[in-house]
Structure 1
Amino acid sequence: MNKYLWSFAFSVVALAACGKKEEAPAAPAAAAPVASAPAAPANTEEKVLNIYNWPDYIPEGMVADFEKETGIKVNYDTFETNEALQAKLVAGNTGYDIVVPGTAGGYSPMQVAAGLFQPLKKDQIPNWANLDPAVMQVLAKADPDNKHLVPWAWGFTTVGINRTKVEKALGKTPLPENAWDLVFKPEYTSKLKSCGIAYLDTPSEIMSVALHYIGKNAYSNEAADYKEATAMLGKVRKDIRLFSSTMIDDIAGGKACAVIGWSGDINQAAARAKENGSKDVIEALLPSTGALLFIDSMAITKDAKHPNNAAKFIDYYLRAESAARMTNDMGYPNANKAATAKVNPEITANKTIFVDADYMGKMIPPSSFSNEAREALAAAYNAFKKGK
């Protein structure tokens, strides 16, 4: 402002010098008052935030730390499947501010397209800059221009085994080159049923990997493909012990030695079994034909009553320290490029968490189903699960 006044005064003096000498120089006009920028609107929301997330998916103490720092009381509930979250969102009046849908099964793309989430106010999320552009490019297929979804974690649906028990059950039969054979091929399932085979109790996940296994599009919209996948699954139905919604406990507790599960859950089960004194080797596998990639993301619901508080939590989670804490504790990779240096070395060395670039090329990226295909999928899964 001083520079402006000096310049203005200098201009007046110069103009006066060009006029008649006997004329007194005009007094400089008073500078017009500069309007101040409007103040940022105060956050008048009550100090409450309601979050709906997957179980076993947040580091212990993170919610309490956020509450202590901000004074915002967090009500934190969990759901077991994308299907359960979808039912809540479609019914409306969810009561939640932040939900964490997944791209698996095409759910978050469908929810974005249906207008179930508020557009993000990125000026309220300065730590958005920490996000990895490569992950955001993949997520943009579900959320064009990255307007609604903020990555929580990512991973893949794959085969997990208790190697100690599997090798014992297989006897002289070696592990197959393609890990999917362990859970889909009778030659293997007939042997592994003795130590337990578990499938995620999630229709879209199981039908998608079954379609992939028989060489079809994992997100097929062809009804005939579902009949073929159901026929394949029917051959191993008698060997399946569990349809699990508590996969971590089921693996760590010895209820299953071979599973179709999420990579991070399998890694958590390995850590939990070790903590409990087990010497068994539990691991997620990298099937030779690839696995199903998914990204779970935070979204602010359309009916959120505390969107500003939600933005505060999202920005808190996008701190490098927060994202690294999640990966270290939960065994899932994050989408935060600033966090990698803070992740424990034994985690970064795990190739089912920090996947090599060559294998990433085998991952099946997320897509979506038509309404007709989703109906065919649900019918096929229910028939398979009931053994019909």
Structure 2
Amino acid sequence: MWIWSNQDWVPFQTVSTRCLILQPLQKLQDCGVTVLDSADEVLDIVVGYLGGDPNGEDREMLKKVEAQMMKVRPYYRYFHSSNYINDLANGEICVAMGWSGDVFQAMARADEAGNNVSIQYIIPREGTQIWFDVMAIPADAPHPENAHAYINYILRPDVMAGITNYVWYANAVPAANSLTDPEILADPAIYPSDEVKARLFAGVVKSQGYIRQETRSWNRIRTGQ
């Protein structure tokens, strides 16, 4: 997944593995470990951690995932998909599972605050899920030509480079590279190497029956019951 940490509390070599989230060290309990509130993403990652197919629908494996998460549930401070940004920037937590773009917001906020919080973003060495922001046009959109014009504008190399330079998100427009901050292009956390990308997987849409079982498992994990 995406793991980021306060380096003053957790050294780089420790956080480079998903074990930190899925087998949390007891000493991290007091400083704070948080996990995304996203059933499909988190559970798929744990399936992979346990040796299964993240994109499969093995219901027996899902039971094993739930059992594993229940073991470590007491060490998590909370499940949330955005609160960790400010909490990490302010030094309120020491390890978070989160989305890659958020880490750079946290880094920027910590830098602006001048609070000496040093944040490190890590792609776990075991691999994790890869994600993409997508622009799509509804089939019944009343003005599709306007939508196409907007998308074409966003995909202009100069515009896309400006977005990347501002938010520190990777983009898929090669022609924008010459206009992108070299520091961003050289950051392996933003533009992973081919070796790292080979260990990533993209999520797939599961059956409704499996999604319902995931939801039930996730609710039990979140509540610890």
TM-score bin, normalised by smaller chain: over 0.9
- 1:180: which partner in 2? 18
- 1:193: which partner in 2? 29
Q: CA deviation at 1:198?
A: 1.1
Question: Would you say 1:159 and 2:17 are equivalent positions?
Answer: no
- 2:182: which partner in 1? 345
1:284 pairs with one of 109, 118, 121: 121
- 2:44: which partner in 1? 208
Q: 1:255 to 1:308 in 2, by over 3 A?
A: farther
Q: Give deviations 1:319-374, integer Å, cap 9, x for gaps.
A: 11121122212221111111111111111121100111111111123323122221
Query: Is residue 176–residue 182 contact of structure 1 (8 Å, CA) maintained in 2?
Result: yes
Give the residue type in structure 2 aligned to 1:217: D
Identity of aligned residues (%): 32
- 1:325: which partner in 2? 162
1:225 pairs with one of 61, 81, 87: 61
Give the residue type in structure 2 aligned to 1:165: W
Q: CA deviation at 1:256?
A: 2.1
Give the residue type in structure 2 aligned to 1:333: A
Counterparts of 1:2-17 in structure 2, within 5 Å, are none
Query: Is residue 5–residue 15 contact of structure 2 (8 Å, CA) maintained in 1?
Result: no
Greater helix fraction, Structure 1 or Structure 2: 2
Structure label with greater radius of gyration: 1
Question: Would you say 1:359 and 2:203 are equivalent positions?
Answer: no
Query: Is residue 267–residue 283 contact of structure 1 (8 Å, CA) maintained in 2?
Result: no
Q: CA deviation at 1:175?
A: 4.2
Counterparts of 1:252-271 in structure 2, within 5 Å, are 252-271=89-108
Counterparts of 1:133-144 in structure 2, within 5 Å, are none
Give the residue type in structure 2 aligned to 1:241: R
Q: 1:176 to 1:254 in 2, by over 3 A?
A: closer
Give the residue type in structure 2 aligned to 1:272: R
Query: Is residue 221–residue 372 contact of structure 1 (8 Å, CA) maintained in 2?
Result: no
Query: Is residue 107–residue 119 contact of structure 2 (8 Å, CA) maintained in 1?
Result: yes
> What is the TM-score with the length of structure 1 in the denominator?
0.55
Secondary structure of the residue that 1:284 maps to in structure 2? strand
Q: CA deviation at 1:178?
A: 5.0
- 2:79: which partner in 1? 243
Give the residue type in structure 2 aligned to 1:211: V
Distance 1:205 1:366 in 2: 8
Instruction: State how many pairs are aligned.
Output: 224
